[in-house]
Structures are given as C-alpha cells and as structure tokens.
Amino acid sequence: MLFFAVLHERAGTRSVTITPTDGMTVDDAVVAARKAAPSDPQPGTSVMLALNSVYVKGDQLVQAGDEIALIPPVSGGSGDIKTDFDWVFITPEKLQEKPLTDFVTTGIDGAVVTFLGVTRCVNEGRNVEYLEYEAYLPMAENKIAEIISEMRAKWELGKIAIAHRTGRVDIGETSMVVAVGSAHRRPAFESALYFVDRLKEIVPIWKKELFVGGEVWIGDTSGAGKPAELAD
C-alpha cells in the first residue's frame, strides 16, 4: 500500500506491505494498511484508490503482488512519453518552455499556445516561500497521456507537449508547461485550458505550499496548514 502527499506524513511512512487473504477487496486492504502503518493516515472520503496504476472502486478484489495506492485530492525525475505528435515528461529538473514550444511549432499549424504554471509569492494571504510537488509515477504520466487523448477527441490539434516539475519549485520558477499546436487559435486556447482543469481532477500530482509560519498540502480538506513549530 502506497501513501502520497499528506497521507504519508500522517502515516509516518510511504508504504506498508499487506498480505492478501481470500476475497480481500481494496477497501479491506485499506483498513489493514491503516492498522499496519505507524499512525493512521486518516484518508477520509475524498481519497481515490488505484490498483496497479488504474483507478478502481473499493470492491475490486486484490491478489498477491498487486500495488495499491491511496490517492489524496490532487493539486492541481522520470522517463518520458514521446511520439511524433505528443511529448510528456515529469522531472525534478528546472523546466524550459522553449524545447516544448519548438516541438509543437511545425509550420503547418497557425496557432501555438503555451501555458506556464509559475510559483507566486502570495497565496490566500500567505507569504509563500516555495512549493514542493510529489507525483505517483508512472501513473501520472499515463493519466496525462489519457487527457491528451480526450483533447484530440474534442478538437483538431497538432502536436502537444506537457512537462511538470517534482520536488522544490522556488518563487518565479515554472512548475508546468503546456504547449499546444492547432490550425486555429480557438482550439489551441480551449484545449490548453481543458488540460489544466483535467490535470487538477485526475492526475496524481500533489502540491505542498511552504509559507512563512507553516505549510499546507493544496487540496487537503482536513483543515488549516500545519504551523512551523509542528513541521517535521
């Protein structure tokens, strides 16, 4: 059982091993994992379940060797997914938008839209020091590729390139690059916005905000951020 973001902090570990019994479901495994962890991760009702990198319901049966992950609400280095038309990667390295924009600029399409997600210094009245991102790989990359398929089903698009940071991202640094090519501007703009909204819904990437006096996982519904004196 894998714990991510706020859940691994609550559990005191990133994973526990559960031995499946006959007829054990994912929900049963979660109960067993909560008991096996150093402390209860208190997943709550908004947590999603993944079995072998696929979202499932709690009544799904599990077998020996299965990997289960508790996926808390997402915020909104590894290998990459690259074809002639799509390029997806998640990395701890600083992002440069030019290689992605160059990838989608072909001379065939008349519009290229590039969106950058950048760490800002103030959020909801808090003085932000930096952000930290955590991802469940390779599921995160596969879900991004799934969103790209949805985009192509809705709009006629050219090349698409998506990159996302993990680890620490300082003020003014880029956490995400979305580059979309299309024959016309409207599909490019609309599909880029669609991607960002969908990423926040289904891609297992989490954001922790470190601010003056405390920290908080964005999307955590348990309450206010943890004061600095309680930080690990």
Q: Report d(CA 62, CA 141) in Å as an integer.
A: 24
Return the residue matching tokens 């208190």: 42
Q: Give the CA-trace dihedral at 130, 134, 135, 136, to 10 degrees.
A: -170
Q: What pLDDT does residue 75 have?
A: 55
Please state the rounded mean pLDDT for residues 208-219: 92
Topology (CATH level 3) of domain 80-217: Aldehyde Oxidoreductase; domain 3 (3.90.1170)
Where is pLDDT greater, at 115 or 84?
A: 115
Over residues 197-212, mean pLDDT: 94
User: In this predicted structure, what is the pLDDT of residue 222?
Assistant: 44
Q: Which of 215, 139, 134 is nearest to 167 (CA)?
A: 134
pLDDT value at residue 229: 34
* Residue among 81, 74, 94, 87 nearest 179 (CA): 87
Q: Distance of CA 51 to CAs 100, 134, 211, Å? A: 32, 19, 34
pLDDT in tens, 44-79: 767 889 999 888 999 999 999 999 999 886 654 445
How confident is the prediction for the chain on average, in pLDDT? 89
> What number is the average pLDDT over the span 1-16?
90
What are the extents of the domains in the chain?
Answer: 2-71, 80-217
Tell which CATH classification among 3.40.50.880, 3.40.50.620, 3.10.20.30, 3.30.420.40 matches the domain 2-71: 3.10.20.30
The CA distance from 22 to 40, in Å, is 24
* Burial of residue 60 (number of CB atoms within 10 Å: 0-12, 13-18, 19+): middle
pLDDT value of position 220 = 54
Say yes or no to pLDDT of 99 above 50: yes
Amino acid, single-letter form, for residue 89: F
Long-range contacts of 52-55 (CB under 8 A, 24+ apart): 53/136, 53/138, 53/139, 53/142, 55/202
Q: How far is CA 70 from CA 29, 33, 98, 221, 232, in A?
A: 11, 10, 35, 15, 21
Token look-up 């020091």 returns 129
Whether residue 226 is predicted with pLDDT greater than 70 in this model: the reply is: no
Please give the span between the terminal C-alpha atoms of the chain, in angstroms, as a whole number. 22
Other Cβ atoms closer than 10 A to 118: 11
What Cα–Cα distance (Å) separates residue 144 from each residue in 51, 55, 180? Answer: 18, 14, 14
Share of the chain above pLDDT 70, in %: 91
pLDDT in tens, 168-180: 999 999 999 999 9
Confidence of residue 147 (pLDDT cuts 50, 70, 90): very high
pLDDT at res. 6: 84
A 10 A CB-CB count for 116 gives: 13
Highest mean pLDDT: which of 62-76, 131-145, 179-193? Answer: 179-193
SS3 185: helix
Beta strands in 4-95 (DSSP E): 48-51, 54-56, 68-71, 80-82, 86-91
Residue 203 has pLDDT above 90, yes or no: yes
Three-class SS of residue 114?
strand
